Chains A and B, each alone.
Chain A
């Protein structure tokens, strides 16, 4: 029997403010332990929190980006529990009235577009870190992270597979960076996801869910959800029952393990924090933030699609704001027929190079102007596509600049003289009698092999279209 999987995600995005959400201490990563913990972060007696408006502004940006309602009035609440890295004995969060309500994110799952509805996004402070190694039976506490602003983004249970969950997480990851509210650094914990997973028979009410924690990469998220779905379906099929609990993913063993059950769930005794006034966000403030918003990925995707670029590729081009900006700049001055080629280059060879050498597109030496000029040379037959994306692109990457000079200097100009190409074709055919015979006996593959040999013999300079035409003609003539 078929099972339906239901997934909701909770994501903690660390907001990119310079100082903490309720104190003036720095949020920079990697400082020596407790060097960025102020009196407020240490929770000395008598200290009080003061809200960082920069964190609120980032929450508003997010709300605007996902088409959510920005609450005109929201409340900070205390979530009470004891832990050594929680200095006040409570976390300041938002509970009943979050600053961002509703909204949705459109994602691509393979070639299919899907909309994931958001429940809410609320502001809260991060806890510190407990360090259990190197302290000989004791624990060390580092409060540098304590008070770092977080936006917790909660979805509806809208996703139905691990792939969808990952696609959502990736889209969200890209969006928060796009709008400049989070650096997205998953290694440093700037973007952390928890997944709520349940299974049910189609048409039945929601099954009991488990929350999976410790999904600190997209790969782990996919593996953990898949494992969890398997575990839950097998459990039910064997006559068991899923218990509501929090489970931890162990990537070494590729399994989830129970952390705590609902029965041990803590009573956090939420109540409005009397040290903080209700957060009021005026229409004016929202308008001010709106005025500073960049064009969103979905808006730029529409522009790419209007250029005739397929939706899937448009989605790839908008994977991050820099690539998208680069592509739009590149396409802006190019003849329409060159755009598909340029798009292919950006998501293909250029992107590969960027990833390989870990360089940002805005910092690489291949500029939109250079790329556009190069595309003209392919379009007018001066060089082949493979020469363009191979030798010329590599030279441009290395900083040699103008593609025309590179083509000239390296003698990459295509051979379009049919007499010259004809000679090469004849030589190759003469040397490969067996393949000619194969082709004639119906083996189409032999044709491609012969093209390859001719291109090789011309050192890649022969015009491929001409080679094709001449070869067909000559093989037919024999």
Chain B
């Protein structure tokens, strides 16, 4: 059961060779046992999960099971799940039990999936290493000294360590793809608007997008079949016909035009990452793909643009955490202003405070035009670069992150170095495009390297096809870290 894919596990369940209760028990045992040291979960509730597993088995007995029925899925602790502690890895929500389900959670519940627990993350998804969590850092299953990436570090580590077959995450500037790369698993950030943001605690509303983690591209497609869909409660959710994301998996990639942005390969990429990415691209050529050089001249602006826009939105989104209606309130205060100040000063961690300050600054009177408006204009230029690039190619490929996983503590004191670890992923969010990361080998310290595949708007099925074809010809994605059994 350890290394079965979602697809294989679903087949086992469908053939009734195993029950959902057994599967759930198996993975809960791993979460509570070998997984404990990784700190990948904030909340685990065996009884609640097993109740869902029993319900899934009943559903199957009635002949009402779908592909996800009875499958344990770990959810990033950013999704509200009714009755579950939902903390966003922050002290300020450390007592918040969600009274409702996020749309994504609702869809998984409807599909009969089992919530295996809520995974650790960077506080409010602000971070690239999972070190900003109030609940402590997550360890990389490949090397306990290393970070798993972030912000969805718990979900990535949980899938990498085979604590769950699949998980969900969210990606605002790379928070699915970068931890997927650093933890050696697959992760997909869909086109903005494909998965409803309702019930997903907002970091930067115009960039946030939920997506799946899995071992294989095929499993990502199965997850997308559940998660994607219009939701009237999210005004930015897109009303589109239902897609079967598995539909193109088996297609040949012969003749596919792969765009290689010069800016991705110019500098900044560590040699061990470059080597694996080059080999992966070579593998695609073997599969009959063509490669073409493309250029994203404004990509260099994406990190500064992002660190204006995302904190601006965050500073406003996080205003609701004020100690008035729910969440943490300072035990002692003298008046209203003091209550706000103390509750927020004590409730938020350093990185969150830094971004609230940046965001407040760039929106302030007299600075708005110079920062926020200018960043919005540049955001459009960055998106336009992709439009031009996609005239010449079908998908874009490059590294997901400039280096393999760095050590815990290595960049924690240097925010700019930390921010630069998302240099290849951020532009995709700014453009609203879909992007994914798949395992493509190992670097110098035997730490995983991720290959990023960027598609045009709504081209997820093609990206999944491309990744799947690569995975038919390679086995990086099925390798497991040592010592997790």
Contact = CB atoms under 8 A, between A and B. Distances in A.
Nearest to B207: A274
Contacts of B96: 45
B316 A277 contact: no
A39 B320 CA distance: 13
Given A84-B324, A271-B372, A275-B205, A48 B234 contact: yes
Interface string B68-81: 00000000000110
A387 interface: no
Interface string B298-329: 00000000000000110110111110111000
A242 interface: no
Contacts of B100: 39, 44
A268 to B, nearest CB: 8
A88 interface: yes
Interface residues of B, number: 44
For the residues of B in contact with A, the DSSP-based class is loop
B235 A78 contact: no
B205 A274 contact: yes
B364 A269 contact: yes
Nearest to A275: B205
A201 to B, nearest CB: 32
B363 A271 contact: yes
A51 interface: yes
Contact of A43 (B320, B336, B364, B365): B320
Given A51-B235, A276-B235, A45 B363 contact: no
Interface range, A side: 20 to 34
Contacts of B365: 267, 269
B405 interface: no
Interface string A82-98: 10100111100000000
Contacts of B318: 89
B93 A50 contact: no
A470 interface: no
A320 interface: no
Given A82-B340, A271-B363, A275-B236, A39 B99 contact: yes
A90 B316 contact: yes
Given A82-B340, A269-B360, A271-B372, A46 B102 contact: yes
Contacts of B202: 46, 275
Contacts of B205: 274-275
Contact of B197 (A48, A88, A141, A270): A48
A257 B93 CA distance: 41
B363 A269 contact: yes
A270 B324 CA distance: 23
Contacts of B80: 44-46
Contacts of A82: 319, 322, 340
A39 B100 CA distance: 9
B86 interface: yes
A180 to B, nearest CB: 27
Interface in B49-102: 79-80, 86, 88, 93, 96, 98-100, 102
B85 to A, nearest CB: 12
A222 B324 CA distance: 38
A471 B313 CA distance: 88
A244 interface: no
Contacts of A49: 235
A89 B319 contact: yes
Contact of B313 (A39, A42, A51, A274): A274
A80 interface: yes
A47 interface: yes
A410 to B, nearest CB: 65
B233 interface: yes
A423 to B, nearest CB: 85
Nearest to A42: B325
Q: Which 3 A-B pairs have the closest CB atoms?
A: A89-B319, A269-B363, A274-B206
19 contacts: A44-B80, A44-B100, A44-B326, A45-B201, A45-B320, A45-B326, A46-B79, A46-B198, A50-B233, A50-B234, A80-B315, A80-B319, A87-B320, A88-B320, A90-B319, A267-B364, A269-B365, A270-B368, A275-B202
Given A141-B325, A271-B363, 13 more contacts: A46-B197, A48-B198, A50-B232, A50-B235, A51-B235, A84-B324, A88-B320, A89-B320, A89-B322, A267-B364, A271-B316, A271-B368, A274-B205
